[in-house]
Amino acid sequence: MINYLVNSTLCSALLLLTYHLLLKNKTTYQFNRVYLLLSLIFSLAIPFITMEQSSVVLIPAQPVIEQLKIFPADSAPADKKVNQTASARYETIGQPPIETNYTLYIVAGLYGLAALALLARFIKNVVSINSSAQRNEKLPYRDAWLVLIKDKLTPHTFLNYIFINRDDYVNDRIESDVLKHELTHARQWHSADVLFIELLQVICWFNPFIYLYRKAIQLNHEFIADAAVINGNHDVSGYQYLLLGKISGLAAPGITSQFNYSITKKRLIMMTKNTSAGVALLARLSIAPVMAAAFVLFCSKTQAQQQPVVKQPVTPNVVKAQATANAGKSKSIPPVVRFSDYPYTKDGVSEDKLKEYMAITAKYEEGPNREILHPSKITAEDQQKLEPIFRQMSVAQQDQQTISFFYLPDPMPPSTPTQKQLDYWKNPKLCGVWINGKKSKNSELENYKPGDFGNFFISRLTPQAINYKNYRYQVDLMTADYYKNYRAEAIADRHKPHMSSRMLNRHINKI
């Protein structure tokens, strides 16, 4: 929202500045009218337009094994004491809990009060003018209506109503040029422009340039009406003296088109100007590059508004179980996620071996769904019995077991962050930083250059993570030497069996 307000306001400022530099002193009044109105609409719409940029910060993610509870076969962690940082690497799909932002409510409340006050003033003015038109005498006058008012007032126009003093009209003290001036306002519906800017002012009252747009639009209306009078009688000097003679301190509603405008001097100057066709064309064409620049500067850019893009984590191949063929042979268990290179046989093990395997795992099943809730309780002796049987099973048999074995994937490839990424990670409100497996202060990144790291990955915290309230992303970095040792150990353990347990169906359904 803040980006929208800033971009919209700055865009309106740029286009208004362009008007004052290129168009304000040109006699291209109708073009100026269209430009001012379209500039406002363009400024409101441009932040909603998205322009994708080719350069995107990509951050590789740690390889993740999905839908598995993973425990090394030779070392079982204490029950429910899995590394808390691991919770950051398992993301559940869903919306995070909504955090109450009272500042936003306060700002919205103040905005609403100001908007309501301006809307009430706008409605009051419209009702007042309409009421005046209805209760006073009206006379048809060409394409408009003359509203005869008893009070002394400056002639002014609203929609197709021209408000004039009754005594002046009856005694023929209102010149025809004055009526022609006001009739131009009525015929060209200048009041519609003013109503539009008034309503826009209610919504965008915080934009100071809206008020300047309003003045420019109303002044341009007077230029148009003056030009219509002069083109009809060709007596510029006579009309100027008439205009000077009509200057008075009488007021008229600001929402109307007024004959006695506050900056009459500028009107008198513009009456003597004449813009050539070539200069007018050049002024119009010069608007095109400005609009193009405004589009590039103030449209919404995806790179600027996105969090760093996390590369899709590398996941093992999923070998689907033959669910249809095995339906009824065992209880319903979701397909296991397993690495395709783990040993298996084509024919599988005998029924006796399957019963032996299931008898061992049954000792650790708990709950109404008979799930292995605490894999850490499986003894090393039982693990050593299970693994040889598991590797002799067929794929279908392996996929039907609540306890399975797998090999870890290859070590993560080397990756070096950019300086832009390091600068982003320094913000403690956005990221938590681990260096070589230890929690570090974000400011410690000031001591490193991109080339000091051999590998990094980023994980998005789930709402259940203990640090979710502090930041949303966890960044794990390995220095060059640390990554070298990690890679050597990972390669050495590549074919070391690891044990996993299945999740319940109800857990799977939540993912």
The structural domains of the chain, with segments of one domain joined by +, span 2-53+100-303, 323-406
* SS3 label, residue 83: coil
User: What average pLDDT does this structure show over 433-461?
Assistant: 92
Residue 456: beta bridge partners? 477
User: What average pLDDT does this structure show over 304-314?
Assistant: 44
When pLDDT is cut at 50, 70 and 90, the band that residue 262 belongs to is: low
Where is pLDDT greater, at 331 or 31? 31
When pLDDT is cut at 50, 70 and 90, the band that residue 69 belongs to is: very low
* Pick from 181-185, 308-312, 376-380: least confident: 308-312
Where is pLDDT greater, at 17 or 100? 17
pLDDT for the residue 285: 92
* Pick from 40-44, 58-62, 191-195, 495-499: least confident: 58-62
pLDDT for the residue 426: 92
- In the block, tokens 């070298």 appear at 484
pLDDT for the residue 336: 42
User: What average pLDDT does this structure show over 336-362?
Assistant: 81
Phi/psi at 367 (nearest 5 deg)? 80, 170
CA distance 53 to 47: 15
CA distance 156 to 254: 10
pLDDT for the residue 1: 66
Measured CA distances, 35 to 18, 19, 43, 291 (Å): 10, 8, 12, 11
pLDDT for the residue 307: 45
To the question of pTM greater than 0.85 for the whole model, the response is no
Where is pLDDT greater, at 242 or 79? 242
**Distance, C-alpha 356 to centroid of its chain:** 58
* The residue type at 389: I
pLDDT at 98 over 80: no
Q: What is the pLDDT of residues 230-258, one digit of tens each?
A: 888 777 888 888 887 776 545 555 555 55
Measured CA distances, 193 to 53, 177, 216, 308 (Å): 37, 23, 11, 44
* Pick from 158-162, 236-240, 258-262, 371-375: least confident: 258-262
